[in-house]
Chains A and B, each alone.
Chain A
Amino acid sequence: MSTSTPKPQPEIRAAPRTWKSRGRLLGMPISVLAIWAALYIAASAVPALPVPGMAGMITINAIMTAISGMVLGPGAAIANAAGGIIAMILYPYGFSAGPLGFLTVTMGGLVAGLLFANKWVLAGILEILIIGSWFVNPQSWQTGMWLVPLPYSLIALLVIFIKPLRDWVRTSILTLHKVWLWPAVFLMCCVGHAGEFMMTNTMVNWMFNLSWQYWVPTLPYWIMVDTVIIVVSTFVGVGVLIGLRKARLPQYADWLEK
């Protein structure tokens, strides 16, 4: 390659762009959101784990939801919702809550996305609302029902509200720290996944009135399923984050540099 550099010239700043904001939603290019939504639909076609009782199965879109916040920020909510609406019609077996199933994946993406964009107050309010809506149902005051939201929602609350932990998670992910990236992505996946599954639990509980005799005995299984999903999501999330940074997508760069 030729080594001579071009003549130095003043760099010209582009005029403000009104259309650019129109091409974006919550800071993400619409093209990226559409592509995520398409991936989301594709992932909803792949069953991963059977679910005792709950409608159908858990598909690998659970992984997509868990990592969406880190990849897209708050825009994840929009991409997940758009993908979710179509996916639940094409592949209904992955959605326990029927026509409102897309709300669950929206919530997962929204809470994690807001947290990742450092809008932790909003993320916290949403997380509390999600957990709160579980306890609003009188069913949830039966024996042992308080255990259901506990495992991962508790971690989510801790990550959202403890400042040093929150900052450490965000910086480790943003700087792609060699070692701390893994636990940080794990915690972020906990937030994303907790948002989704608590919303699902709440809605299923409201719609079908399942009592503690269903929830409590199946709890160990749920914890196992959630752990598996979060662990797999961590692997996928780390791979995707590193890969995206290496790919240097020009229109995606703005978001990463923030």
Chain B
Amino acid sequence: MIGISSGARRTPLNGLDGRTKLIALLTIFILALVFSSPYYILGLLALVLTTWAIARLPWKLIKDILKFFLIIAVIILVVQIFFYPGETNLFRLSGPIGFIGFSGYITLEGIMFGIAMVLRLVVIMIVAPLLVLTTPLPEFMLALVKLKVPYRFAFIMTTALSLLPSIQSHSAIIQQAQLCRGITDFETGRLLTKLRTTAGLLVPLILGTFRDSQTLDVAMSSRAFGAPVKRTFLLESHFCPTDYIILILAILFLLGGVALRVLGYGTL
């Protein structure tokens, strides 16, 4: 869906250190969870969208991502509007319906809280792509390593991503083979048949790919993977002044946000 692979796009955010972007992302994510007032989360959303514009990422991408979350957004909104225990009654819809816990009134708090939750969903869902689309994978990996994530874990991530194309072509071959044998319900077919064929696809795919692990293991160790010395990293990353500014801002935002919340602001 979103093509990241190696070379995320060249954007103005590319110059930033991966660590900065990762920390900024976490800050926004945490703040989105800390606040439950629609105004505050709207502020966060504005921040994310501004960054999106600065990075010159296509707006269509946001639409693509949010498309998948439309139904949950509607459900969240409806559940909160009807069932949030609000106090400011706006209008009366019906008599109280006890067994589903509906008071009969639509409340201001319910609407506000519903909007806040939907906005929270939007922020949470578009903030991660923002990081990844502006950070080539090797830089992302280096950022993780510099943030003390074990190198081996970062290695698993990059290796997995670079093995993906060969797995996908492998799975296409298996599907072709199954089509030849008359198994045609990958796309059509009822839900249960679809699941059965999926299972029939997964087993040979997993087994076939596992066979490659032998080659991969030999190839890794032939290139001294795990040598008992401190590893060099070809890629280098240094903080530039902008990085420091953004980092300081992020920390101030985070502390300020938490402080506001403790003082009772940012909630309903």
Please list the residues of chain A having a beta carbon within 8 angstroms of any beta carbon in chain B: 18-20, 22-23, 25, 29-35, 37-43, 45-46, 48-49, 52-57, 60, 63-64, 71, 78-79, 81-83, 85-86, 88-93, 96, 98-100, 142-143, 206-214, 228, 232, 235-236, 239-240, 243-244, 247, 249-252
Contact = CB atoms under 8 A, between A and B. Distances in A.
Contacts of A206: 33
B207 A240 contact: yes
Contacts of B132: 89
A43 B202 CA distance: 8
Given A34-B156, A41-B161, A213-B82, A243 B68 contact: no
12 contacts: A19-B228, A38-B160, A38-B163, A39-B205, A42-B164, A52-B75, A53-B72, A56-B72, A90-B2, A92-B128, A240-B206, A249-B214
A38 B25 contact: no
In the complex, the 3 A-B pairs of residues with the closest C-beta atoms, listed nearest first: A22-B226, A37-B160, A239-B203
B117 A208 contact: yes
B239 interface: no
B113 A39 contact: no
B120 A208 contact: yes
B12 interface: no
Nearest to A34: B159
Interface residues of B, number: 70
Interface string B104-138: 00000000010001001100110111001000000
A31 B220 contact: yes
Given A48-B195, A56-B69, A211-B83, A82 B225 contact: no
Contacts of B49: none
Contacts, number: 212
A44 B202 CA distance: 12
Interface in B146-184: 152-153, 155-157, 159-161, 163-164, 167-168, 171
B71 interface: yes
A46 to B, nearest CB: 7
B84 to A, nearest CB: 8
Contact of B207 (A99, A207, A211, A244): A244
A5 to B, nearest CB: 27
B236 interface: no
B203 A86 contact: no
B39 interface: no
